[in-house]
Structure 1
Amino acid sequence: MRGGNAARNLSLARKPGKYGLGYKYAFRSRNVPPCDIEDLTSKLPAGSRLCGIDLGDKTVGLALSDAGLMVAGPLETLKRKKFTQTANELRALFEAHKVGGIVIGLPLNMDGTEGRRCQSTRQFIVNLIEFGIDLPVVYWDERLSTVPVE
């Protein structure tokens, strides 16, 4: 299995969190222990932002927090291409917007189990780390995050 340290750290990410509904899984490469969203934000360099990632089959939706980490808004939607092209686009955006951490949606099944999309999301993060984008990551449970408007 390729991945080295990043793949070993993936096992840390599979331990369930205890910090409420949103926080479920978090890890960072290079043997840094898992963190929750509050821990992540307290460790960010001054002035850096968080980037929210909504990973789809054909697109990658991005949201960016303000510098005070109080609110986030839409940034851009990237078309997924070959991984290296997508990763280069992400790297450029992360550098341009001073991103210090990533919050990525984890599409758990309604019963809390992980399916194919969760595996794909986790592998995407491992690939980013192997590519050299080594930012702290929090997996966010996105069950029921899309509620139909009545």
Structure 2
Amino acid sequence: MRILGLDIGSKTIGVACSDALGITAQGITTIQRKTAKDDWQRLQALATERRVTRMVVGRPRHMNGEDSENVKQIEAFITYLKRQMPAMEFVYWDERLTTMMARQVLMAGGVRREKRKQFVDKMAAILILQNYLDAQGNTLL
């Protein structure tokens, strides 16, 4: 069983996928958002290709635990996806600080400033999914 991790923004969706054992997360792509239908079709194709049964969706929150302003748009999109993919399981996961951490990882990796923008959403999706996988207790040790 593979799991997709999603970092949903207004312009892009960062996408990561777990390995078959559910231990590690790898970045797949960053989807340039168009319409809900186009976004769904891209996600459906990725899920089908990788035999995904669950999607972990980053839920943006403020440091005090309250939902961020764009949660309503994310929830509306996930409601749409649930109608289009009724067999798919969707799980929200706290994504506090993942974008900041993604930027730091890219900077530490020597990724130039002008290149970071195209990788930050995918890296945030990796962090969201890896945090989820770690919390499930699936490890090699």
Residue type matched to 1:56 in 2? G
Q: State the TM-score, normalizing by the size of structure 2.
A: 0.67
- Say how many residue pairs are matched: 103
Q: In the alignment, is the contact (CA less than 8 A) between 1:64 and 1:73 conserved in 2?
A: yes
Residue type matched to 1:70 in 2? I
Stretch deviating more after TM superposition (95-104 or 108-117): 108-117
Residue type matched to 1:109 in 2? H
Partners of 1:59 and 1:134 lie apart in 2 by 24
Residue of structure 1 in register with 2:15 after alignment: 62
- Output one character per residue of 1:71-112: Cα deviation in whole Å (capped at 9) or x when no partner: 011011111011111111111111001011011100011111
1:94 maps to 2:19: no
Residue type matched to 2:23 in 1? M
Residue of structure 1 in register with 2:38 after alignment: 85
Superposed displacement of residue 57, structure 1:
1.1
- Output one character per residue of 1:101-139: Cα deviation in whole Å (capped at 9) or x when no partner: 011100011111113211111111101012235411111
Residue of structure 1 in register with 2:128 after alignment: none
Residue type matched to 2:21 in 1? G
Residue of structure 2 in register with 1:128 after alignment: 81
Which protein, 1 or 2, shows the higher relative CO under an 8 Å CA cutoff with sep ≥ 6? 2
Partners of 2:35 and 2:59 lie apart in 1 by 21
Secondary structure at the counterpart of residue 51 of structure 1 = strand
Partners of 2:86 and 2:29 lie apart in 1 by 18
Residue type matched to 2:35 in 1? K
Stretches of structure 1 that go unaligned for 5 or more consecutive residues are 1-47
Q: 1:63 to 1:133 in 2, by over 3 A?
A: farther
Answer 1 or 2: which has greater helix percent. Answer: 2
Q: Which residue of 116, 137, 140 maps to 2:90?
A: 137
